[in-house]
Chain A
Amino acid sequence: MAINITMPRLSDTMEQGTVVKWHVNAGDTVSSGDVIADIETDKATMELESFDDGVVASLAIGEGQKINVGETIIILAEDGESVEDAMKSVGVSGSAAASAGGSDTPVPQTAPQTPSATAVAEPPATSNSSGNSSNNEDRVFASPLARKIAREHNLPIGSITGSGPSGRILKKDVEMMIGGPAVNAPTAPVASTAATAAPMPAPLPAPLPAPGAALESKTVALNTMRQIIATKLVESKTTIPHYQVTMSARMDSLNNLRGELNEQLAAQGVKLSVNDFIVRACAIAMHQHPFINSSWNPDSGQSSPSIQLHGHVNIGVAVSLPEEKGGGLVVATINNADQIGLRQISSETKRLAAKARDKGLAPAELTGSTFTISNLGMFGVEHFTAIINPPNAAILAVGRAIDKPFIEYDADGEAELVIGSEMSMTISSDHRIIDGAMAAAYLKTVKELLESPASLLV
């Protein structure tokens, strides 16, 4: 039987991987432990070792190509098996395989690509890769004790690199990630923005310190989440040309509508937040401004840079995690936010925020956003700017709505002073994709939707 080696899941959050470089060609003999390819994940470029012995029958994809976790990347003929037999046993004709191997033809990109080819969030996990090969790609090997400690620290086991036999994660590996018993590591990574999210009560003012109380000087080891936040945001801020555009929206109509809806829906246990309306407005505005809902495909060496417009609108909502969970933040993803109503957005946001703070989100709930919203309004913030959450092209920083004096004109053209509610929104955009006018146009659409909120209902 031929040996099918599939794209391994090299990190907890990995859904796709790119073969950056092949170390073998068709016809080469491969032994267990040989490095066969460099695989780029969402976090790092790692060496992939073969877990089996055999002869390379076919490279299923070319260098620079990205495929989903679990799909075949290379087929090996077992000892004594001819290449033709190996190909037959996996249902591929020999000539087809030969043409696929080493092909220079870029495959159409169907998903966002990460901007960096060499992000190093973790050391190259060669041992981990062997533990995840072939039909075991979903299984993370860890000792029962390592799992127990990771669970107690709310640390996703898949984010840890194992040093034991077959890449098994051991106690010492988890302890290294925790950085000592005092530091609690929080939920899953894939964090990004400089902010926090919607349904969280504003914190109580801190009590005054006792007279003479001194701050403690100490070094705090980074937990996984903090490491990933640091790596991703430095990468984002240093490689993406950010600029900001701010616009304000009158919130009086929305506030009235929201009050009315919540009053009518209270019996059903539904309570819409301002943030739910913002998510909805941002999502449906994408239909007029598809470039806001896109990703930058970098130069892969095989194909020149391009812009990926997404066929779905997944809105990421930054959720801060409580101190006792180790702090940090995650981006919870509300999928197809343009296709679902306010009520679903509301319940999904509440569910994800509660789950993120309680026990952590699953990888699928953390990845795949196409646009991110960060809302610090509940902390009294009026205006701020956020850092783009790759591979998004833009992020919206939302402040609190405040009452202000406005001059309005009545039907006779008479000016009058009225009190209105106004909310500031600041979009940070990737100038490689979005020009200033495009950002302004998008914000104008969002503003109009928020100011005529009936359109968000239908």
Chain B
Amino acid sequence: MTPTPTTLPMIDTNIHPAIEAHLDMPAMLPNDQLPSFDGDRIIQYREALREAMSEEMRRDKRVFLLGEEVAQYNGAYKISQGMLDEFGAKRVIDTPISENGFAGMAIAAAMSGLRPIVEFMSWSFSFVAADPILNNAPKMLYMSGGQFGCPIVFRGNDGAGGQLASTHSWCVEALYANVPGLKMAIPSNPYDAKGLLKTAIRDPDPVFFLESERMLGDKAHVPEEEYYIPFGQARLAREGDAVTLVSFGRPVHFCLEAAERLAAEGIEVDVLDMRTIRPLDIDSIIERVKITNKVLVVDQSWPFASIASEVITQICERCFDWLDSPPARLNTADVPTPYAKGLEYDYLPNPDRIYEAVKGMMG
């Protein structure tokens, strides 16, 4: 007699797992009903991430964190500082330097009902885990005919971290966002980092969560009360009438800096922080483009087949007749990331380049 496998529960419900997971989702509020963006509870971006993970781990025992140096060393970037003490070694797990192994293991855990958070020290290291994170996680719900979802968060540092050179400065948003079945968040500030990470942990699908070591020390107000930021809901960080700057992640700050300089010359631009790339809040972009009639997408990934290319395509599809100039993009230079400090600055979509690009569009 063949023994019945006991490691997995028998499927004894007609409710689709993805739907069931959604039933567990907290209320998703529009921007104007979220807590105030401004305030005086000033904490670091890394602390905001830690609060998000800790709150969700307190709420839900299925949530756990694993990755290199997350436990005993308190995190390579001190994001998980103190979490081992609070949650213990079963829920804050140090792994070997083996992304392929621990990412795959975490995916299996997610399929089996747990809620893993996988920390990649850098997204640059995620490529050795490409098969599990791209070929398994995003397709699991589809390939299993709805039997297994994959509620997992992969998070880590993305983009040029400051003289880390070509192989450690990857921007993965364009590469990974190409895959259907995953979600991708890329917060630019502590408020969004917390609100989006909490949503990512609650989300029933695999979420690729892109941080930046250049922002981990950024300080800003993070509300005391619990809040979740819906995916696919951009924030208008600055309102203008001349050009709409569309950006996400660290380049949002470059945009805001350029906007200040432009404002000094009487040019007021929009800065739209997309917050998530998948889903993409194209409606908010269209809404602003219909007002400014000009758009510049500022994207820290390479130009060829980039997120900027996708955004501009959708703009052309959706509001071509509202454009008064060719929709423009500003990416990093189409070369491997340079090591030299000055070259790295010039390579990025920095404030100087944004300023020049907007001036060019204004004729």
Q: Nearest-CB distance from A407 to chain B (Å)? A: 68
CA distance A144 to B322 in the complex (A): 6
Say whether, besides A164-B363, A165-B363, A171 and B293 are in contact (CB < 8 Å). yes
At the interface, yes or no: A145 with Cβ under 8 Å from chain B?
yes
Provide the residues of chain A in CB contact with B267, threshold 8 Å.
Answer: none
Residue of B nearest to A171 (CB): B324
Q: Write out the residue numbers on chain A whose beta carbons fall within 8 Å of the beta carbon of B324.
A: 143-146, 170-171
**In whole Å, how far is B160's beta carbon from the nearest beta carbon of chain A?**
32
Contact string against A for B residues 312-337, beta-carbon threshold 8 Å, 1 for contact and 0 otherwise: 00000000111111000000000000
Q: How far is the CA of A392 from the CA of B177 in the complex (A)?
A: 66
Judging by beta carbons under 8 Å apart, are A170 and B325 in contact? yes
Cβ-based interface call for A148 (8 A): yes
Please, which residue of chain B has its CB at the minimum distance from the CB of A164? B363
Bound Cα distance A148, B324 (Å): 10
Contact, CB under 8 Å: B323 / A143: yes
Interface bits B286-307 vs A (CB < 8 Å: 1, else 0): 0000000100000000000000
Cβ of B267 to closest chain A Cβ, rounded Å? 15
When distances are taken between beta carbons in the complex, the residues of chain B under 8 Å from A170 are 324-325
B322 proximity list for chain A (CB < 8 A): 144-145, 148
Nearest A residue to B326 via CB reads A143
Residue in B320, B324, B325 whose Cβ sees the most chain A Cβ within 10 Å: B324
Q: Does A250 contact B (CB under 8 A)?
A: no
* Interface SS majority for chain B: loop
Q: CA A338 – CA B146 in complex, angstroms?
A: 78
Give Cα A143–Cα B320 distance, bound, in whole angstroms.
Answer: 9
Q: Does A147 contact B (CB under 8 A)?
A: yes
B323–A145 CB distance below 8 A = yes
Q: Mark B8-31, 1 if CB is under 8 A from A, else 0.
A: 000000000000000000000000
How far, in angstroms, from A453 to B325 measured CA to CA in the complex?
59
Within 8 A of B (CB), among A134-150: 143-148
> Is the Cβ of A145 less than 8 Å from the Cβ of B321?
yes
Tell me whether B363 and A145 are in contact (CB under 8 A): no
Nearest opposing residue in chain A for B321, CB measure: A148
Q: Using Cβ atoms and an 8 Å threshold, which residues of chain B touch A146? A: 324
Taken residue by residue from 296 to 310, chain A's Cβ proximity to chain B (1 for < 8 Å, 0 otherwise) reads as 000000000000000
1/0 per residue, CB under 8 A from B, across A156-176: the answer is 000000011100001100000
Complex interface residues of chain A between 149 and 196 (CB less than 8 A to chain B): 163-165, 170-171
Residue of B nearest to A165 (CB): B363
Would you call A164 and B325 a contact (CB within 8 A)?
Answer: yes
Q: Find out whether the CB atom of A147 lies under 8 angstroms from the CB atom of B363.
A: no
Query: What B residues does A163 contact at CB under 8 A?
Result: 363
Bound-complex Cα distance A147 to B322 (A)? 10
Cα–Cα, bound, A143→B324 (Å) = 5
Q: From A168, which residue of chain B is reached at the shortest CB distance?
A: B325
Q: How far is the CA of A163 from the CA of B362 in the complex (A)?
A: 11
* Chain A residue with Cβ nearest B322: A145
Within 8 A of A (CB), among B140-189: none
Q: How far is the CA of A170 from the CA of B293 in the complex (A)?
A: 10
Distance in angstroms between the alpha carbons of A146 and B294 in the assembled complex: 12
- Neighbouring A residues of B321 by C-beta, 8 Å: 144-145, 147-148
A-side contacts of B320, CB under 8 Å: 144
Closest approach, in angstroms, between the C-beta of B355 and any C-beta of chain A?
Answer: 19
Which B residues lie within 8 Å of A147 (CB)?
A: 321
Instruction: Looking at the assembled complex, report how far the CB atom of B358 sits from the nearest CB atom of chain A, in whole angstroms.
Output: 15
- Kindly list chain B residues whose C-beta atoms are within 8 Å of the C-beta of A171: 293, 324
Complex-state Cα separation, A147 to B325, whole angstroms: 12
Q: Which residues on the B side are within 8 Å of A165 (C-beta)?
A: 363
Q: What sequence of 0s and 1s flags, for each residue 253-296 of chain B, a beta carbon within 8 Å of any chain A beta carbon?
A: 00000000000000000000000000000000000000001000
Docked Cα-Cα span, A146 to B326, in Å, equals 12
Specify which chain B residues have a CB less than 8 angstroms from the CB of A148 in the assembled complex: 321-322
> How far, in Å, is A349 (CB) from chain B's closest CB?
35
Q: Which residue of A lies closest to B363 (CB)?
A: A164
CB distance from B359 to the nearest CB of A (A): 13
CB distance from A175 to the nearest CB of B (A): 11
Report the bound CA distance from A100 to B191 in whole Å.
Answer: 75
For residue B360, give the distance in angstroms from its CB to the closest CB of chain A: 9
Compute how far the CA of A145 lies from the CA of B293 in the bound complex, rounded to whole angstroms.
8
Residue on B with the closest CB to A152? B321
Give complex CA distance A201, B293 in Å. 43
CA distance A171 to B289 in the complex (A): 13
When C-beta atoms are compared, the residue in chain A nearest to B293 turns out to be: A145
Q: How far apart are A176's CB and chain B's nearest CB, in angstroms?
A: 14
Query: Which of chain B's residues have a CB closer than 8 A to the CB of A145?
Result: 293, 321-324
Interface centre among B320, B321, B322 (most CB of A within 10 A): B321
Instruction: Name the distance in Å between A24's Cβ and chain B's nearest Cβ.
Output: 28
Give Cα A127–Cα B56 distance, bound, in whole angstroms. Answer: 61
CA A148 to CA B323, docked complex, whole Å: 10
* B183–chain A nearest beta-carbon distance, Å: 32
CA distance A196 to B324 in the complex (A): 37
Q: Pick from A143, A146, A164 the residue with the most CB of B within 10 Å.
A: A143
8 Å CB interface, A107-121 against B: none
Residue of A nearest to B289 (CB): A145
CB distance from A152 to the nearest CB of B (A): 10
CA–CA, A147 and B293, complex, Å: 13
User: Which residue in chain A gives the minimum CB-CB distance to B360?
Assistant: A165
Task: For A142, give the chain B residue with the smallest CB separation.
Answer: B324
Residues of A within 8 Å of B323, CB to CB, are 143-145
> Which residues of chain A are near B293, meaning CB under 8 Å?
143, 145, 171
B290 nearest in chain A by CB position: A145
Complex Cα spacing A301 to B322, Å? 48
**Minimal beta-carbon separation of A106 from chain B (angstroms):** 43
- The CA-CA distance from A163 to B363 in the complex, in Å, is 9
CB neighbours of B363 from chain A (8 A) = 163-165
CA gap between A144 and B317 in the complex, in Å:
12
Shortest Cβ gap from B241 to chain A (Å): 12
Name the residue of chain A whose CB is nearest to the CB of B320. Answer: A144
- Residues in A with CB closer than 8 Å to B325 are 143, 164, 170
Complex Cα spacing A163 to B324, Å: 12
**Contact residues in B for A164 (Cβ distance below 8 Å):** 325, 363
Q: How far is the CA of A145 from the CA of B324 in the complex (A)?
A: 5
Tell me which residues across on chain B come within 8 A of A144, comparing CB atoms.
320-324
Output the least CB separation between B287 and chain A (Å): 15
Q: Give the Cβ gap from B327 to chain A, nearest Cβ, in Å.
A: 10
> Chain B residues with Cβ under 8 A from A143's Cβ?
293, 323-325
CA distance A147 to B363 in the complex (A): 19
Quick one: CB contact mask for A211-241 with B, threshold 8 Å, 1 for yes? 0000000000000000000000000000000
Q: Which 4 A-B pairs have the closest CB atoms?
A: A148-B321, A145-B324, A143-B324, A171-B324
In the assembled complex, 9 residue pairs joining A and B whose CB atoms fall closer than 8 Å, in A order, are A143-B323, A144-B322, A144-B324, A145-B293, A145-B323, A146-B324, A165-B363, A170-B325, A171-B324
User: Can you name 19 extra interface pairs (CB under 8 A) apart from A144-B322, A144-B323, A171-B324?
Assistant: A143-B323, A143-B324, A143-B325, A144-B321, A144-B324, A145-B293, A145-B321, A145-B322, A145-B323, A145-B324, A147-B321, A148-B321, A148-B322, A163-B363, A164-B325, A164-B363, A165-B363, A170-B325, A171-B293
